Structure 1
Amino acid sequence: MTLPAMILAGGRATRMGGADKPLLMLGGRPILSIILARLAPQAGPVALNVNGDAARYGGFGLPIRADSLPDHPGPLAGILAALDWAAELGAPHVLTVAGDTPFFPDDLAPRLLAARGPTGLALAASGRTGDPRDHPTFGLWPVGLRDDLAATLARGEGRVRSFAARHQPGIAVWDDRPFDPFTNINTPDDLARAEAMIAAL
């Protein structure tokens, strides 16, 4: 089976005034459209993790998966939704990407597949090889981690990094020059900088 991918966009976006970040316009089109175009050559079926009224994303024709836990517990709950969806598809892994990061690498999937650790988990990072910054919402997650992840969330533990560290992730590192491909859009200023990047490219 071709690798399934889940776009994680279930947060509250408080620094963006509660706006749906994937629906913000960048370079004349929604950020979600840019993300889908980058995913298309790398993944098979794509779904979207969002909470609230799914109709606002109806025009994209994507399967919508909300968090299975209330009160927006964070991206780890979105990763659980991704694993549950992948299990229904019969897939052994699922790729996750953040819904506010439009410039992620076009070789994300193959490099994460190559970087898998002993449990099958791989995470993205950027910077210099000796001191990279990890980006744990960009990962390749084995479906076999579902039960432990559900138990972790049930205990009220919601940090992606802490959960991932228990499972010996492999790390794939991308250069952050001339800019970090994992630059995300959290604020109106970030959106303005991203517009400038689009113009420069």
Structure 2
Amino acid sequence: MPVIQPHGLILAGGRATRMGGGDKGRLPVGGRSLVERVIDRIGPQVDALALSANGPPGRWADLGLPVLADADPDRPGPLAGVLAGLDWAAGQGRPHIVTAAADTPFLPPDLVPRLLAAAGPTGLALAATRDDDRVRPQPTFGLWPTALRDDLRAALAQGTRKILAWTDRHEAGLALFPTAPLDPFFNVNTPEDLQRAEDLACG
């Protein structure tokens, strides 16, 4: 049976407080914005792509992607974005989505197949790295089955906010990625991170 390629969702809802606010995904790195670099990386791995972001959707119009706002007015973090993506994919008859953060310009080019291979018994999987024998989950990079969307909706209504608090309950598998020569999940949180990304992109 052929593998059904997932839809992809870029999580762009962060407030970028350490960068002075605004849409962090718009910051330039090597002549292209962070979010454009993420699109370049994950786009070929999925069969459709959307952006999770709140506020006026028109500011993302140049990307040509559907913009999904959180259904919950309280905007309780990335899990709310994941839920919006699951509802979007379920409406199109898709069995799962893969998520990636908008501030990670070097994400793995094989993220999706490795997440699919690592799926746990419920179909969930998260990316992870190993550092000095310690496994570090990368919770904004995951494979999420649409069949669990109502469970996630209920968990959000009950106050769950941390991704791992929910994924641990559903036995998420882990797809391990090396961190050498570069951590593929390096993300831009500070001006220093932005300069490092620039150096890496142009090096």
Q: Tell me the TM-score normalized by structure 2.
A: 0.95
What amino acid maps onto 2:201 in structure 1?
Answer: I
2:201 is matched with 198
2:170 is matched with 167
Residue pairs, 1:1-201, within 5 angstroms: 1-128=4-131, 130-200=133-203
Would you say the 8 A contact 1:94–1:143 is kept in 2?
yes
Would you say the 8 A contact 1:11–1:72 is kept in 2?
no
Q: Deviations over 1:71-93 (max 9, x none)?
A: 33101111111111111111001
Would you say the 8 A contact 1:112–1:123 is kept in 2?
yes
Paired with 1:128 and 1:154, the residues of 2 have a C-alpha distance of 34
Paired with 1:185 and 1:128, the residues of 2 have a C-alpha distance of 19
Paired with 2:99 and 2:5, the residues of 1 have a C-alpha distance of 14
What SS does the corresponding residue of 1:40 show, helix, strand or coil? helix
Paired with 1:158 and 1:169, the residues of 2 have a C-alpha distance of 17
Paired with 1:129 and 1:97, the residues of 2 have a C-alpha distance of 24
What SS does the corresponding residue of 2:134 show, helix, strand or coil? coil
Q: Residues 149 and 129 of structure 1: is their aligned pair in 2 closer, same or farther, counting only changes over 3 Å?
A: farther
Would you say the 8 A contact 1:13–1:21 is kept in 2?
yes
Would you say the 8 A contact 2:10–2:102 is kept in 1?
yes
Q: Displacement of 1:13 after TM fit?
A: 1.7
Q: Displacement of 1:199 after TM fit?
A: 2.1
Q: Tell me the TM-score normalized by structure 1.
A: 0.96
Paired with 1:11 and 1:32, the residues of 2 have a C-alpha distance of 12
The 4+ residue runs of structure 1 with deviation greater than 4 A are none
* Structure 1: segments with no counterpart, 5+ residues: none
What amino acid maps onto 2:197 in structure 1?
Answer: A
* Structure 2: segments with no counterpart, 5+ residues: none
Paired with 1:50 and 1:127, the residues of 2 have a C-alpha distance of 30
When the two chains are superposed, the root-mean-square deviation of aligned CA atoms in Å is 1.2
Pairs aligned (count): 200
